[in-house]
Amino acid sequence: MKVSLIQMNSQENKDANLKKAEQLIAQAVADDHPDMVVLPEMFTCLTESAEVRSANADKIPGGETYGLLRDLAQRHRIFVHGGSLLESDGDDVYNTTVAFDAKGNELARYRKIHLFDVTTPDGKEYRESASISRGGDVVTYDAAGARVGCTICYDLRFPELYQALARKDATVIMVPAAFTLMTGKDHWEVLLRARAIETESYVLAPGQCGTYANGRRATYGHSLVVDPWGHVVAKASDQVGYITVRLDLDYLQSVRAKIPVAQHKVL
């Protein structure tokens, strides 16, 4: 299973972001011929404005972004894991992942469970719950011989969600993110490696990089892939682009056979 992770620097202009995502996916397909592409969190619109978030939210199904992701899957004959987008559902807006198979059929829909309400060490406040509603379902789907588990960004800090995905037999766990620069430099890689080791799964984390909100906010980037032993097998540089890896599911099973963590759980 070959997967390309797309790293972006999304801004408030939704049309420009969608065009850039389409371009990067086309480049990855032409260069590396992946079976699947994975986009970062909030690839459609990265902003600190609740009003802009609401204005750029999509209906699922039926919205512009939903249609584009489905079209890209069909056009390139690939699985598309749609990072996350702003979903409009009545009076609520969710931070939502949608995944499609190579025929454009929807495989899964995941609404982010853990919302980022913190003050970072540099004093910046983030209140995701001020404009985003919370999801509640643990979601997996099957793709190219793998069982894919869905998480988004801040979910990374809650290992119980990853254990729930492990109980659903996830072998690949997605972490599309817009991790802050301040927390990312100390926590991003170590947390991703921990989640991979704990679940004995591949962890794939495409991120946003660079600044947004007119330079007031900064994201960490460093999109990366961790194997089930906890080794970083690919990492992006600090720029917009993509990385591609081949996931060895036989190796994953050998890791699980050597240290059968799932069989030893008592809680």
Closest CA to 195 of 166, 234, 235, 238: 166
Which of the following is catalytic: 87, 112, 128, 150?
112
Which of the following is catalytic: 14, 20, 150, 153?
153
Q: Distance between CA 265 and CA 222 in Å, rounded?
A: 33
Q: Distance between CA 252 and CA 71 in Å, rounded?
A: 32
Asked about 41 being catalytic, the answer comes back as: yes
Asked about 153 being catalytic, the answer comes back as: yes
The 10 Å Cβ neighbour count of residue 134 is 14
148 beta partners: 141, 172
For 35, phi then psi, to 5°, come to -80, -25
Peptide linkage before 61 cis (omega within 30 of 0): yes
Which of the following is catalytic: 12, 41, 48, 87?
41
Report in angstroms the alpha-carbon separations of 126 from 93, 121, 204. Answer: 17, 12, 24
Which residues does the annotation mark as catalytic? 41, 112, 153
